[in-house]
Amino acid sequence: MKKWEENIRRVVPYTPGEQPDIPGMIKLNTNENPYPPAPGVRRALREMKEESFRLYPDPACSVLTEALARRYNRPKEQFFAGVGSDDVLAMAFLTFFNSKRPILFPDITYSFYPVWAELFGIPYERPALDEEFRIVKEDYERENGGIIFPNPNAPTGLYMELAEVEDIIRKNPDVIVIVDEAYVDFAGPSAIELVDRYDNLLVVQTFSKSRSMAGMRIGFAVGNPCLIRYLNDVKYSFNSYTMSRAALELGAEAVKDEAYFQKNIKKLTATRERTKKELKALGFRFPDSGANFIFASHESCPAKEIFEALRRRQIYVRYFDAPRLHNYLRITVGTDDEMDALLKALKEITAR
Ligand code: PMP
């Protein structure tokens, strides 16, 4: 080891899903939306003047936070925007989890949480999900330095009713509770409606799933203006120009088209429900997903074998080689045609 290596911050990074680019492949491994963004995004992209790229973007991200404020019918001071929800969540960890007491998040959840906790030196504990992969809300009633969980959870897809989410927030008035709602638009009511009642709540959402804009990297947080100011203080201590001019403008455009948004969600959830039925008929079981993916296990065929057999057919799904997860596949809901191809392949693979 070189002497200088002693001074290096060494971390175990998060592993993102693969991004293969093979003609004809079916990509169901990173929970992207199979449909294009709202038509207004295309129009705005065409009208965008590269001349404007000479100038820095607005560090306050105002066009986007104002569009969000209109969409959710609340003050713009309650919004914070960032480079995908990963950026927003990382800033939130750094800002709100600054206690010697451990923060809490489930043992099975978004695998970025322990990575940020390690990176920022935040102590953490991971209460176990129950036998059916549900979050046990009573586990979040002990002393802690903050709480974060996704709703729906990932990679299980299970949505927790808002009354239970509210219970966790209410029982933890002295710490910040972050609800990561990356998939909530496919599931049920958002905790955003609780923001006015609980000053310790931060809700984080993304444009990557329900708004079909994973490649543009847009995420946001909603919380009381005091929390948002604290978040901005950390952001401005780190990188003031996080979001590009293109992301700000195109994101604002996407939020304006509510009809397209609703149509996109309706189409996707209909495909998800149909896929659930057909997977069941093929011998798969899964938690009842409220997300744009299904976390499925076959009654006799090991997940790893299915994963590899699908891959040979250029159908990409996500496999996690981890305790309790190793016999499951996380399958993103694609178009109806993609699901038909997947189901046909699964039928052949599992019949062997
Ligand atoms: N939270 C959860 C639970 C996720 O699954 C993801 C997607 N990887 C994210 C946050 C981050 O998404 P993005 O950075 O694209 O907004």
- Condensed to tens digits (0 to 9), the pLDDT of residues 155-198 reads 999 999 999 999 999 999 999 999 999 999 999 999 999 999 99
Q: State the Cα–Cα distance between residues 119 and 10, nearest whole angstrom.
A: 9
Q: State the Cα–Cα distance between residues 246 and 48, nearest whole angstrom.
A: 8
Helices 84-96 and 225-235: angle between axes, nearest 10 degrees: 100
Task: CATH number for 3-36+259-350: choose from 3.30.420.40, 2.160.10.10, 3.40.50.2300, 3.90.1150.10.
Answer: 3.90.1150.10
- Whether the CB-CB separation of 232 and 80 falls below 8 Å is answered with yes
**Range 131-138 average pLDDT:** 97
**pLDDT over 90 at 15, yes or no:** no
Atom of ligand 1 nearest to the CA of 85: 16
Residue 284 is encoded by which pair of tokens?
């798969």
Q: Ligand 1 pocket, 84 CB below 6 A?
A: yes
**pLDDT over 90 at 50, yes or no:** yes
Instruction: Take atom 7 of ligand 1 and give the residue whose Cα is closest.
Output: 182
Q: Ligand 1 pocket, 109 CB below 6 A?
A: no
Average the pLDDT over each of 17-26, 44-53, 190-199, 284-293 and give the range with the smallest value: 17-26
Residue 141 CA, ligand 1 centroid: distance in Å: 26
Domain boundaries, the chain: 3-36+259-350, 39-257
Residue 207 CA, ligand 1 centroid: distance in Å: 10
Give the closest residue to 177 by CA, choosing from 140, 205, 209.
140
Q: Ligand 1 pocket, 208 CB below 6 A?
A: yes
In degrees rounded to 5, what are phi and psi of residue 260? -65, -40
39-257 in CATH: which number?
3.40.640.10
Residue 137 is encoded by which pair of tokens?
């809300």
Q: Please, which residues bridge with residue 202 across strands?
A: 178, 223
The confidence score (pLDDT) of residue 137 equals 96
- Whole-model pTM: value is 0.97
Average pLDDT of the chain is 97
The confidence score (pLDDT) of residue 278 equals 98
Q: State the Cα–Cα distance between residues 280 and 284, nearest whole angstrom.
A: 5
Residue 215 CA, ligand 1 centroid: distance in Å: 12
- Condensed to tens digits (0 to 9), the pLDDT of residues 284-339 reads 999 999 999 999 999 999 999 999 999 999 999 999 999 899 999 999 999 999 99
Give the closest residue to 90 by CA, choosing from 219, 249, 250.
219
